[in-house]
Amino acid sequence: MSSALLEWSQEVVIEIMGEERMKTGLILLAFFFKIGCFTFGGGWSILAQMEQEFVNKKKWITKEELLDLVAVGKSVPGIMITNIGMLFGYQMAGWFGGVCAVIGIVLPSVLILSVITFGYDVVKNNYWCHCALEGIQAAVVPIIGSAALSLGKEVFRSRKGQVICLAVFLLCMITDISNVALVILGVIAAFLGRGVKRHGIS
Amino acid sequence: MVYLELFWSFMKIGFTSFGGMSMIPLILEEMQSHQWMTAEDLANLVAIAEMTPGPLGVNCATFAGTQTAGVLGGIVAVLGVLMPAFTLTLLVAIFYTRFRKSEVMAEIMSWVRPICIAMILAVILTLGKENYFTDGKSDWIAVGIGVAMLYLIMKRKWTVPKVIGSSAVLGIVLYTLSGLV
């Protein structure tokens, strides 16, 4: 009964989406489920994981494209990693791919949290959990850092990239300007730059 | 209708925040006004969310939804918090996919890419301060694990799951040993 239902719903999805997209969508669901199991440290480790899976192994996107996805995903309201999942999934397999990626990425945390909800005092005060967590937190910086260095290689190659990066880094350190404001400033600067190039100021 | 309320509340939280800790004040306000959670519950939840993978917003939605209205409540709340991704981000994705090869977009991205790298570097610095120093003293076990993992990722090309798993084991072993001394 349930297998007949599954087959039928599969046929419906293929009918609407085309077989290729459905396949890609399910692959995305599996991949992002795996990624979702290991996103500690505020979600930024998704960068390292996507680089390993999609840039190095599968070669679906380039480093620059991944960095672009992160910048756009960070600038849209909501949770960054689900936004990145949607942007990437849409590029690969339309809206179905996007939805698959988002569901894949949140599924592990939903499953884990639903279990923990029923016994969270045990976990909260558990000595072993605490030690394991300390260890994981120590690994988050190298994970994100190595991804940032690798993704930034191209950026650091140009003088313009170096200057912008350093200026924004200092700005982040001194002020508590929001990431969205920074990206918007960048977009404005890009348009100003174009205007100057086109009309000249001299 | 508690399901609709949960969905609506978490949709509001999703649309008006940008993830992570920036969601806390909004979540607290919604939780208290509906009496779904106290401030203490939320503080505990943040501690748990740090121990488990996944975004804080999704973890909060699951927890609050499940506690208020069972498993279905949890699912409804999570769908609520995901609404920005399913609507706004989808629109952005359609727009972005169409224009990403254009000359204007290339110009914009030549600015935004270095900004993005800078933001990540700033996050790394903040996380480094939190994770390697406790009460002004450096935590040498954490530093050791960090350096070892850096080597394994950069030189040995270890994948993230492997790194997370082994650093959890290292954490248990090293912190237990240091507690015995």
Higher-confidence position of A197 and A38: A38
Q: Which of A116, A135, A190 sits opposite B52 (nearest CB)?
A: A116
Residue (of B19, B6, B8) closest to B85 by Cα position: B19
pLDDT at B7: 95
State whether A144 and B67 contact (CB < 8 Å): no
The pLDDT value recorded for residue A120 is 66
Name the pTM for this structure: 0.81
Per-residue pLDDT reduced to its tens digit, B75-118: 999 999 999 999 999 999 999 888 888 888 888 888 988 998 99
| Whether the predicted pLDDT of A87 surpasses 90 | yes
Do A41 and A98 belong to one domain?
yes
Its ipTM equals 0.82
Per-residue pLDDT of B53-67, as tens digits, reads: 888 889 889 988 988
AA identity, residue B85? A
* Total number of domains in chain A: 2
Q: What is the pLDDT of residue A202?
A: 46
- Say if the Cβ atoms of B122 and A169 lie within 8 Å: yes
Distance from CA of A30 to the nearest CA of B (A): 15
Same domain? For A147 and A61 the reply is yes
Between residues B127 and A117, which one has the greater pLDDT? B127
Q: pLDDT: is A201 or A45 the higher one?
A: A45
- Position A99 pLDDT exceeds 60: yes
pLDDT in tens, A39-85: 876 678 888 899 999 999 999 999 989 999 988 888 888 888 999 99
The reply to whether residue A136 touches residue B167, judged by beta carbons under 8 angstroms, is yes
Same domain, A9 and A105: yes
Q: Looking at the structure, tell me whether residues A38 and A137 fall in a common domain.
A: yes
Give the chain B residue nearest A41 (alpha carbons). B50
- At residue A9, the pLDDT reads 75
B138 φ, ψ (degrees, to nearest 5): -80, 140
Q: Which residues of B touch A128 (CB under 8 A)?
A: 172
Do A67 and A33 lie in one domain? The reply is yes
pLDDT for position A181: 85
The reply to whether A175 and A141 lie within a common domain is: no
Please state, in angstroms and rounded to a whole number, the distance separating the CA atoms of residues B96 and B99.
Answer: 5
Residue A114 has pLDDT above 70, yes or no: yes
Instruction: Sort out which chain B residues have CB atoms less than 8 A from A166's CB and list them.
Output: 118
- What mean pLDDT, rounded, does chain B reach? 87
Same domain, A61 and A89: yes
Q: How much of chain B, in percent, has pLDDT values that exceed 90? A: 33
pLDDT at residue A200, as a whole number: 63
- Asked whether residue A2 carries a pLDDT value surpassing 70, the answer given is no
- Same domain for A103 and A182? no
Give the 3-state DSSP-derived string for B35-80, with helices as H, strands as E and coil as C.
Answer: CCCCHHHHHHHHHHHHHCCCCHHHHHHHHHHHHHHHHHHHHHHHHH
Would the CB atoms of B18 and A74 count as touching at under 8 Å?
A: yes
Nearest to A123 among B48, B67, B160 (CB): B48
Answer yes or no: do A118 and A193 share one domain. no
Q: Where are the domains of chain B?
A: 2-99, 103-180
> Is the Cβ pair B18, A81 closer than 8 Å?
no
Give the minimum alpha-carbon distance from B102 to chain A in angstroms, rounded to a whole number. 13
pLDDT at position B181: 67
Print the domain residue range for A168: 158-202
The span from the first CA to the last CA of chain B, in angstroms, equals 57
Q: A1 CA to chain B: closest CA distance, Å?
A: 24
Residues A30 and A97 placed together within one structural domain of the fold: yes
Q: Which of A1-5, A137-141, B173-177 has the lowest mean pLDDT?
A: A1-5
The whole-angstrom distance between residue A94's C-alpha and the CA centroid of its chain comes to 17
A108 and A200 share a domain?
A: no
DSSP letter assigned to residue A118: T
Same domain, A84 and A171: no
Residue that terminates a domain, selected from A154, A172, A194: A154
Task: With beta carbons under 8 A apart, name residues in chain B contacting A40.
Answer: 53, 164
pLDDT at B37: 81
- Chain B: residue whose CA lies nearest to A80: B19
**Å between B129 CA and nearest CA of chain A:** 10
